[in-house]
Amino acid sequence: MSIWFTSDTHFGHANIIQYCDRPFTTLSEMDEGLIANWNQVIQPNDILYHLGDFTLGGQEQATNYFARLNGKISIVPGGHDKKWASKGEYLSKSGHPIVILPPLATIKLNISGVEQPQLIVLCHYAMRVWDRSHYGSWHLYGHSHCGLPSYPNSRDVGIDCWNYFPVSLEQISDEIGKAEK
């Protein structure tokens, strides 16, 4: 089982192609490409944290997209998720229920080679300071579509920043480790 992060998939949102200069010509091409990339790396029992702006659509659209995606998915809602996040129950392609987290969530994860669990603050929006930021906690966010400069112990996990794939916990750990040196 692996742990992954992403944000800002914007399934069903045609204008995002031009707004973010995504390398797709149609909405269908974007949606199918993002779904294929997701399922290429996310196995049925992997954990994925999606940090908002999953889809601009409503409950039916969210249901349809989740049903095509692998993994145990938890969502930190973004601004575009308001139409569906508080309504209904959703299942992933793997049959796991979708967990809707609060807009600001804190998790602890074990990282290979690190003695203590890593505290990670999750939010759709970037912060300059966050819970225990002065003590080594990390902050993962989306929303900016790679528009913000790097900040210590903080990373944009938006799909636009990672070649349209989810990013693994190991990749995040490596990136933050490189920045500390």
pLDDT in tens, 141-171: 999 999 998 889 999 999 999 999 999 999 9
Does 181 score more than 60 pLDDT? no
Does 137 score more than 90 pLDDT? yes
Give the number of domains in the chain. Answer: 1
Name which residue leads in pLDDT, 77 or 180: 77
Residue 169: strand, helix, or coil? helix
Nearest to 5 by CA among 118, 134, 136, 90: 118
Whether the predicted model's global pTM rises above the 0.85 cut:
yes
Mean pLDDT of 99-119: 93
Does 180 score more than 90 pLDDT? no
- Alpha-carbon gap, residue 149 to 156, rounded angstroms: 9
Phi-psi region at 35: left, alpha or beta (left = phi > 0; alpha = psi -120 to 50): alpha
Q: For residue 87, name the pLDDT band (cuts at 50, 70, 90).
A: confident
- The predicted pLDDT at position 179 comes to 61
116-to-49, 71, 111, 156 alpha-carbon distances in Å: 21, 26, 8, 23
CATH number for the domain that contains residue 55: 3.60.21.10
Q: For 10-45, how does the pLDDT look when each residue is reduced to its tens digit (9 = 90+)?
A: 999 999 999 999 999 999 999 999 999 999 999 999
Name which residue leads in pLDDT, 112 or 66: 66
Does 112 score more than 90 pLDDT? no
- Which burial class, exposed, middle or buried, applies to 78 when counting CB atoms under 10 A from its CB (0-12, 13-18, 19+)? buried
Residue type at 71? G
Mean pLDDT of 108-119: 90
Q: How many CB atoms lie within 10 A of CB 114?
A: 11
| DSSP run (H or E) holding 60 | helix 59-66
Residue written as token pair 């809602």? 77
What residue numbers bound the domain in which 143 lies? 3-180
Q: For residue 88, name the pLDDT band (cuts at 50, 70, 90).
A: confident
- Alpha-carbon gap, residue 173 to 146, rounded angstroms: 18
- The predicted pLDDT at position 113 comes to 80
Q: Is residue 54 a contact partner of residue 9, using CB atoms and an 8 Å limit?
A: yes
- The predicted pLDDT at position 115 comes to 85
